[in-house]
Structure 1
Amino acid sequence: MRELYDFDIEKGNIVGVDEAGRGPLAGPVVAAAVKINEYHDFFEDINDSKKLSEKKREILFDKIITHCHVGVGISTVEEIDEVNILNATFLAMNRALEDIEKDEIKFEKVLVDGNKLIKGYEGKQEAIVKGDAKSLSIAAASIIAKVTRDRIMLINAEKYPEYHFEKHKGYGTKLHREILLEKGALPIHRKTFLKKILKKETDE
């Protein structure tokens, strides 16, 4: 992954930002901001979090937290339903940057995964399409966001065992949809995402 680190170096003094959880039917959207100060050997194992096993992501999460500067931001289900998922994602990203700035971390530009700049962020930024495959800081942020969100969904799995969030993490899998049709929506479900699945219920 040295080429991903070199990509960041060429961009200057940067922070990478990515999110997890835009697509699920339940749970928050989580964003992370990561600043890398120096190269470590474990970076060789970093890739897009979606391509890593859950166990590998957990291991890398701990190493990134230990050796890098990290900020995390969360947007709630209520915010997602109120302002839509895209704007809620921007909220989470802004909160992640505010979180990392609390430690007085200095950076000149934000690299954000995707093709959209962070709405509401006034600093210098650049959108990087497929950034988690190009930028080491974005790839690291992807892991932090994914693991953080998965841990939140595991807590919900304990709270609502009959919904099996430990298996689908809130995504719209066949199992999750079947449970929704049988048992209905929970407070942690995104009501605006369920209109087609639970049309009768949401139209009332």
Structure 2
Amino acid sequence: MYEFDMEYGEIIGVDEAGRGPLAGPVVAAAVKIKKYVKEFDMINDSKKLSEKKREFLFDIIIENCHVGVGIINEKEIDSYNILNATFMGMRNAIEDIVEEGISFENALIDGNHKIREYRGIQTPIVKGDGKSLAIAAASIIAKVTRDRIMVKYDEIYPEYGFAKHKGYGTKQHREALLKNGACQCHRKSFLSNILKPTLF
């Protein structure tokens, strides 16, 4: 994966977590590798790693990479729609890197969309988290950051089981919604097929 990154010169990898859930934010991350360490051989698409391994690699990435994060909350998702919110998160994550004074030539983006309203050079890469170390590292940062937020939400709203399903539309989550209605961290625009408007 590292050799793939080198084809594009000095790069950052950008990925997101949480486009599909019914609750919580969408989180984007941007990563520039500072130095290669042997633990990076364990890095893969975050969805293919166990939670324990993601948590381990999160600390390795933080220690050996420049990292930026962009978090767009559920209210902003409802206001701007999930695609635009994802782009906002990615722009914020890149800006987080830039504000540290980190330079790069190209932003490699996981997926087939360029980031709207981003003026720098960018290259979308389909299934990029399996082709680029920097994108895969960004996917881990985004996923772990978001999961930790959902665990915090679980402490506030234990009746929904957020620590287990992280806001995705599992059977447990849907049943909890029907029983309890929506809470503050739900994406109201995602719930029309589950809840009647009166329960919002």
* Cα displacement (A) at 1:199: 2.9
Partner residue, 1:163: 160
Name the TM-score, length of structure 2 as normaliser.
0.98
> CA offset at residue 200 of structure 1?
4.6
1:184 aligns with 2:178: no
1:9-158 alignment runs, 5 A limit = 9-158=6-155
State whether structure 2 residue 169 is matched by structure 1 residue 172. yes
Structure 1 residues 97-149: Cα deviation after superposition (integer angstroms, max 9, x where no partner): 01111110000110000000001110000000000000000000000000000
Distance 1:138 1:115 in 2: 13
Whether contact under 8 Å (2:11, 2:107) holds in the other structure is yes
Q: CA deviation at 1:51?
A: 0.5
Q: Which amino acid aligns with 1:57?
A: R
The size of the alignment, in residue pairs, is 200
Query: Is contact 1:34–1:68 with CA below 8 Å preserved after alignment?
Result: yes
Distance 1:5 1:99 in 2: 23
Q: Secondary structure at the match of 1:25?
A: coil
In 1, Cα distance between equivalents of 2:196 and 2:157: 23
Shift of 1:163: 1.2
CA deviations 1:15-47 (Å, max 9, x no partner) are 000000000000000000000133210111000
Instruction: Provide, for residues 158-196 of structure 1, a one-character-per-residue CA deviation record: whole Å limited to 9, x for no partner.
Output: 111111101110000000000000000001000000000
1:69 & 1:115 partners in 2: Cα distance?
Answer: 24
How many Å separate the matches in 2 of 1:99 and 1:200?
37
Q: Aligned residues: percent identity?
A: 67
Q: Which runs of 5+ in 1 are unaligned?
A: none
Provide the secondary structure at the position in 2 that maps to 1:88. Answer: helix
Runs of 4+ with >4 A deviation: none
Q: Is the 8 A contact 2:36 2:64 kept in 1?
A: no
* Alpha-carbon distance in structure 1 between the residues aligned to 2:153 and 2:6: 39
Cα pair 1:5 1:39 within 8 Å, conserved = no
